[in-house]
């Protein structure tokens, strides 16, 4: 119940009103410093907003999320609320259904099953009353008959004989799965009911493969621009698929999987057994202590493997419309998950359904090119790894990637490595959310920027990463006018000295009404990127980076970084404690460009700033002409404690100073161009200090 209350608190807290005294409540002892700085440039805290009415001059925000609006309307909520969101995810990292609530509430479509009663209890009561010796037979037979697929006499005999050889604790969990499965499928059916005929009569014979390929061959935005048919079908699905029913089925399955997982964790029998059975929805595979091999391209419904160093080429993924559920439990061993197909999802991926993977122990390796390791497309994908030093590798669309759906990856312990190229590591596209949670360990997050396979429009020498807490939308005002607001990408890391590296677009960044958040709770961390990174956003978007503790290093050498907003976007970097170093570029450290807002805030520590050129340290750089001359463009830099080192090339900046944009360039600001820098000494604890969890 404590965990449920925590998640519910996060659901309601973002709706708190912004009363006149709310700024003091949010910012505490730091409110006066910011108020002083804003007064210097003729603003109040209420002026620091990206106005909805101003954005309405431009449009393109279909499917815009309320979560996005909350922070765009009042950026001062960010320093207080983002740590709450981070700590909630870390606290619930081992709780599948509640992680879904945390993620899906960002979309406005979370389902609070379990708030009043245990949704698994009726199914568990049914299973507890069933005889163990025949529970697999009874469960599978009952399910198949209910779904209209009566078993043959031979199948009944097989299930009776082979099912009896499965250890009773495992057999009981199979029965629990099948007891709940009809309800899960019913919710999915009603989610899909408005769109299923459209899907089946479309030119795409396998919609799952169509959407997987659209991401594996190029990013979804580019694929949509090239295929009008795919664009039209996708918009129909976005408008008509019932996300509430979809999430109800996914959350119910999450509760069932949580119960099964807890029971299976207690299974310590070193048993050697093997059982397979083909159902209308996919294959059941149950295995014991042997080193088992699971082939790819198979529509698995349920895998339970209790031991051994196993090799998986498939599983925990919905590979067709007739394979809507796929769940995998591996209890021990150093396992290898490797899929080479670019047309088939794998390992915790839900495409028009639900794909969940739970690995409880061992140093595991996950490698699949796309739609993998916690990925959802009009579905829910989840990967949860409990222990070990694990490695995750993908090319695109994996490691907590939500495209029109939910993708969650939760790693509970170990020194882990995450490697991708793009659309991964906490990525959300339209009506999608990606949530990556790593609770502890010295982790490495890499969006490959040496092998240039996805060259960026900003610089062909770098990949377009779109990863590590990135929200992405479809800008189509330059194509067909069918623009779609972006989703939410979140990466939350708990304890450990971590390293983040990417090319262009990443590390708490957003594009086209997308929201990207990277929040790290502790450790001496290293952030490396180039353009639109480290709390940066472009074109009506939101980027947030929040680092709670440690002596951290930030490097960005090209443009738009470390608290930078471009074109009606907001970038907000909060660095809470530690002696930090910033290697910065132009339009950084609180840079607003073309009516964007950039806010940089280092709360505590003796920090070093190595920026030597460009528009930074609290400056706005407006796009001049027309109505843009009437709309705010703002940069704010704040360092509120410590003896800091500033570059000699920026003599206006220094300890115990307040500077304004006018003083930087000797010219009066034009229109609503504003910029301010604040260096002061406030020694109060930072708001929402790291919980240490």
Q: Is the pLDDT of residue 5 over 80?
A: no
421-480 pLDDT per residue, tens: 999 999 999 999 999 999 999 999 999 999 999 999 999 999 999 999 999 999 999 889
587-614 pLDDT per residue, tens: 999 999 999 999 999 999 999 999 878 8
What is the pLDDT, as a whole number, of residue 691? 42
Q: Is the pLDDT of residue 219 over 80?
A: no
Structure tokens at 342: 């670019």
Mean of per-residue pLDDT scores for the chain = 93
Q: Is the pLDDT of residue 222 over 60?
A: yes
What is the pLDDT, as a whole number, of residue 13? 47
What is the pLDDT, as a whole number, of residue 220? 63
What is the pLDDT, as a whole number, of residue 690? 42
Q: Are strands 470-472 and 509-511 parallel, antiparallel or unpaired?
A: parallel
| Mean pLDDT within 663-668 | 57
What is the pLDDT, as a whole number, of residue 662? 72
Q: Is the pLDDT of residue 630 over 90?
A: no
pTM for this structure?
0.95
| Mean pLDDT within 520-527 | 99
Element at 350 (helix H, strand E)? strand 349-351
- Using CA atoms, how far apart are residues 337 and 347, in angstroms rounded to an integer? 7
- Give me the helices (H) in 293-332, please: none
Q: Is the pLDDT of residue 18 over 70?
A: no
The DSSP-derived string for 228-264 is HHHHHHHHHHHHHS-HHHHHHHHHHHHHHHHHHHHHH
On whether the CB atoms of residues 583 and 619 are closer than 8 A, the answer is: no
Q: Is the pLDDT of residue 176 over 70?
A: yes
55-86 pLDDT per residue, tens: 888 989 999 999 999 999 999 999 999 999 99
DSSP label at 47?
G
Q: Is the pLDDT of residue 671 over 70?
A: no
What is the pLDDT, as a whole number, of residue 693? 36
Confidence of residue 3 (pLDDT cuts 50, 70, 90): low
What is the pLDDT, as a whole number, of residue 479? 87
Q: Is the pLDDT of residue 669 over 80?
A: no
What counts of helices (H) and strands (E) characterise the chain?
Answer: 17, 43
Q: Is the pLDDT of residue 204 over 90?
A: no
In the chain, % of residues over pLDDT 70: 93
Q: Is the pLDDT of residue 16 over 50?
A: no
Kindly list the domain boundaries of the chain, sorted by start residue. Answer: 1-93+428-481+491-693
Q: Is the pLDDT of residue 664 over 90?
A: no
């Amino acid at each position: 119940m404590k965990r449920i209350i925590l998640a519910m608190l996060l659901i309601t807290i973002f709706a708190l009103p912004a009363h006149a005294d709310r700024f003091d409540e949010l910012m505490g002892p730091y409110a006066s410093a910011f108020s002083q700085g804003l007064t210097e440039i003729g603003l109040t805290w209420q002026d620091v907003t990206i106005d909805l009415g101003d954005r309405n001059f431009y449009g393109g925000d279909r499917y815009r999320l309320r979560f996005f609006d909350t922070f765009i309307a009042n950026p001062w909520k960010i320093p207080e609320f983002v740590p709450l969101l981070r700590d909630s995810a870390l606290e619930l990292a081992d709780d599948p259904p509640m992680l879904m609530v945390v993620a899906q509430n960002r979309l406005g479509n979370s389902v609070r099953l379990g708030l009043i009663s245990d949704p698994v209890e009726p199914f568990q009561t049914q299973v507890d009353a069933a005889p163990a010796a025949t529970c697999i037979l009874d469960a599978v037979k009952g399910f198949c008959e209910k779904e209209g697929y009566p078993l043959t006499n031979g199948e009944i005999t097989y299930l009776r004989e082979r099912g009896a050889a499965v250890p009773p604790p495992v057999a009981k969990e199979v029965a629990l799965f099948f007891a709940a499965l009809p309800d899960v499928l019913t919710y999915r059916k009603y989610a899909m009911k408005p769109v299923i005929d459209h899907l089946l009569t479309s030119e795409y014979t396998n919609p799952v493969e169509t959407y997987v390929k659209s991401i594996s061959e190029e990013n979804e935005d580019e694929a949509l621009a090239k295929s009008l048919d795919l664009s039209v079908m996708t918009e129909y699905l976005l408008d008509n698929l019932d996300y509430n029913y979809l999430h109800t089925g996914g959350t119910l399955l999450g509760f069932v999987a949580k119960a099964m997982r807890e029971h299976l964790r207690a299974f310590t029998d070193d048993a050697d057994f093997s059982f397979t059975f083909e159902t209308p929805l996919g294959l059941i595979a149950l295995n014991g202590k042997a080193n088992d091999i699971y082939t790819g391209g198979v529509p698995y419904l349920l895998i339970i493997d209790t031991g051994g160093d196993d090799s998986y080429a498939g599983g925990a993924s919905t590979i067709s419309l007739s394979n809507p559920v796929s769940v995998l439990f591996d209890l021990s061993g150093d396992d290898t998950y490797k899929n080479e197909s670019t047309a088939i999802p794998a390992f915790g991926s839900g495409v028009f359904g639900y794909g969940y993977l739970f690995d409880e122990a061992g140093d595991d390796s996950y490698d699949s090119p796309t739609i993998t390791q916690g990925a959802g497309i009009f579905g829910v994908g989840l990967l949860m790894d409990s222990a070990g030093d694990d490695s995750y590798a993908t090319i695109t669309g994996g490691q907590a990637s939500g495209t029109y759906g939910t993708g969650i990856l939760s790693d509970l312990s170990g020194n882990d490595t995450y490697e991708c190229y793009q659309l991964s590591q906490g990525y959300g596209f339209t009506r999608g959310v990606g949530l990556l949670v790593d609770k502890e360990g010295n982790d490495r997050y890499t969006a490959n920027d040496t092998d240039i396979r996805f060259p960026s429009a900003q610089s062909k020498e770098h990949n377009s990463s779109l990863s590590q807490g990135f929200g992405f939308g479809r800008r189509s005002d330059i194509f067909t006018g069918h623009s779609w607001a972006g989703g939410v990408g979140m990466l939350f890391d708990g304890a450990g000295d971590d390293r983040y590296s990417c090319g262009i677009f990443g590390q708490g960044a957003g594009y086209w009404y997308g929201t990207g958040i990277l929040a790290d709770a502790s450790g001496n961390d290293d952030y490396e990127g180039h353009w639109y990174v480290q709390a940066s956003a472009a074109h009506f978007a939101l980027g947030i980076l929040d680092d709670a503790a440690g002596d951290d290093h930030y490097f960005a050498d090209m443009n738009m970084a470390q608290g930078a907003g471009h074109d009606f976007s907001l970038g907000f970097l909060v660095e809470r404690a530690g002696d930090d170093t910033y290697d910065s570029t132009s339009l950084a450290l609180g840079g607003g460009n073309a009516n964007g807002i950039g806010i940089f805030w280092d709360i505590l520590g003796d920090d070093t700033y190595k920026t030597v050129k460009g528009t930074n340290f609290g400056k706005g750089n407006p796009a001049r002409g027309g109505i843009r001359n009437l709309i705010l463009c703002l940069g704010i830099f704040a360092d509120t404690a410590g003896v800091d080192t500033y570059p000699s090339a920026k003599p206006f900046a220094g300890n115990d100073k307040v500077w304004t944009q006018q003083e930087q360039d000797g010219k009066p600001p034009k229109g609503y161009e504003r910029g301010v820098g604040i260096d002061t000494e406030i020694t109060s604890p930072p708001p929402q200090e790291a919980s240490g969890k």
